[in-house]
Structure 1
Amino acid sequence: MIKILMIEDDPEFSIFLGEYLSKYNMDITNFEDPYLGLSSNINSYDILILDLTLPGMDGLDVCKKISENFDIPIIISSARSDITDKVLGLQIGADYYLPKPYDPKEMYAVIQSLLRRKKKNINKSNFDECTTFNWDKSKQKIVFKKEELTLTQAEYEVLIILLENKNSIVSREQIVNATVSLSDSYSKSLDVIIGRLRVKLKDDSKNTKYIHSIRGLGYKLTQ
C-alpha cells in the first residue's frame, strides 16, 4: 500500500482523488489544516500532495518546512496559476507542480514517476546473499536463489515491479503502467507472462510460494 499525505482544504476534492487512487493500492490521508499536516508522522508516508491556498499558512511555507526536514517527494496541486508560485515552489523543494484542474490519471502518472525515481536513487542495487531474490536495475539483472534468471524484457519488467512492491498487492493497472512492454491491463498477455515467471521460479500455480494471484485485485510477490 502506497501511503499518501495530502494537505488540501477542499475535502470533496481530496475524497474524489482518494477514491480514484485507491484503485491502484494508494491510500490518501488528508489534513485540511496545514498545522495538523505538519504535526503528522510525515516519515510514515511515501509522497505528499500539497495545495497552496490553505487556512492559516501559505502552502509555499508548508513546502519549505517539509522539504527542509523530511525526505519525501512533494507534488504541489494548486489552482494558483502565477508562474512565480510554480518557480518558487520548485526552488524550495517541490518535485512537481500540477495545476488544477487536472485529470486524476495525470496525478497517478506523476506519483508513479516520482516513486520510481526515488526507488532508483535508494535501491539502484539491491543485493543481499541471504535473500531469495536480488536485483540490480543498473544491469537489468535479477538473481533467484543465487542464480541469475534469463528473462525476456516483459518478464523482467513485470517481475521487477512485483519485487519493488513485495508483500503488497499490485493491481494489473499498476503493472501495465509501470512497464513498457505491456499496454492493456485487460489483455491475457500479462497472465501469460506471470505463468512464464512461475515456471522459471518453479512456482506451482496451484500452491504458489512466490507469485500469488489475488482475485479481483492483482498480484502479490512474497519471499
Structure 2
Amino acid sequence: MAEPNPEGGPAIDEALVDRRVLVIEDDPTVLEVVCRYLRAAGFIVDAERDGIAGLRQADRVPPDLVVADRMLPGIDGVEVCRRIRAQRPVPVIMLTALGSTEDRIEGLEAGADDYIAKPFSPRELVLRVQSVLRRSLPDFAPEAPFDLGAFHLETADRVVTKHGEELSLSVREFELLAFLLKHPHQVFSREQLLKAVWKWDFGDLSTVTVHVRRLREKIEDDPTEPQHLTTVWGVGYRFAA
C-alpha cells in the first residue's frame, strides 16, 4: 500500500521500503538530489561518484537496483552495467545524455533495464525505480506454471527454463519473454510491446528492438536465424514454440 511522501515526492510503496539502491553519479548536485528523493521514498541509498568505487560498493553490499550515469570517471556506466549484470541479475537504470540515441542503445545492450534522459525530474526517476523494482518482486497471487514447447515459465519464482536449463534474464527480459510466452503466435508491434511490457504510452522504440535482440541471444540456438522470436516485417514480432 502506498503512503504519502513527507517530502512531496512520489508516494512511498510499503512493499519497497528498505530496498537498497546504489546511485553512481559524478555530478555532486545531481547525486545529492537523487539520493534525497530516493531516501524520502523509503529506500536505503548508497552513493558513489565513479565507476570503480561503484563496482566495489556493489560487491561489498549487493544492491536491489543500480542507478548509473552513462558518463563516469574511471569506468563508464556502460561497463559498470556489464560487470554488475555479469555477476547477478540486479536491475540497472542508466542515466543518459538528452537526445543521444546511440548512448541509450549501448546502455540497453549492456544489460540496462531502463534509461532516463538528462535533464530529468527526480520525481520521475523515483517512479521509474519503483516501477522496475515492483517487477522484480514475486506476485502475491502468481499464475500457475505452464509449458510452451521447450520453455517452462514459473511466474512466482520469475524463472524461465529452456530444455530444463534456467535462462539468465534481466527484469525486462523476463517480463518480455513471459508476455510473449503467454501470447504465442500473436504478432505485436513495438508500440504494443512498449505499452504491454514497459507500461509506457510513448517512448524510444529502440528500447524494444534492443531487448528483442538480447532475448534472442539467450533463447535461440542461432540468434541470426531465430526460430522462436521472429520478425514479421513491417508489423512487429511473433513468438512460436
Q: Normalised by the size of structure 2, how large is the TM-score?
A: 0.49
Identity of aligned residues (%): 32
Q: Deviations over 1:25-55 (max 9, x none)?
A: 0132111121111112446311000001111
5+ residue gaps, structure 1: 125-134, 140-223
What is the aligned-residue RMSD (CA, Å)? Answer: 1.8
1:29-178 to structure 2, matched below 5 A, reads: 29-42=46-59, 44-79=62-97, 81-119=99-137, 123-124=138-139, 135-138=140-143
Displaced runs of 4 or more, over 3 A: none
How many residue pairs get aligned? The number is: 126
Name the CA distance, whole Å, in 2 between partners of 1:109 and 1:23: 12
Matched, 1:7 2:41: no
5+ residue gaps, structure 2: 1-17, 145-241
Matched letter for residue 3 of structure 1? R
Larger radius of gyration: 1
Name the CA distance, whole Å, in 2 between partners of 1:3 and 1:46: 5
Name the CA distance, whole Å, in 2 between partners of 1:33 and 1:91: 21
Q: Normalised by the size of structure 1, how large is the TM-score?
A: 0.52
CA contact (8 A) 1:18 1:27 kept: no
Q: Residue 21 of structure 1 aligns with which residue? A: 38
Name the CA distance, whole Å, in 1 between partners of 2:53 and 2:30: 18
Matched letter for residue 18 of structure 1? C
Compute the displacement of 1:80 (Å): 5.4
Name the CA distance, whole Å, in 1 between partners of 2:130 and 2:20: 12
Distance 1:38 1:113, change over 3 A: same
CA contact (8 A) 1:52 1:80 kept: no
Name the CA distance, whole Å, in 2 between partners of 1:23 and 1:93: 28
Compute the displacement of 1:5 (Å): 0.4
Q: Residue 178 of structure 2 aligns with which residue? A: none
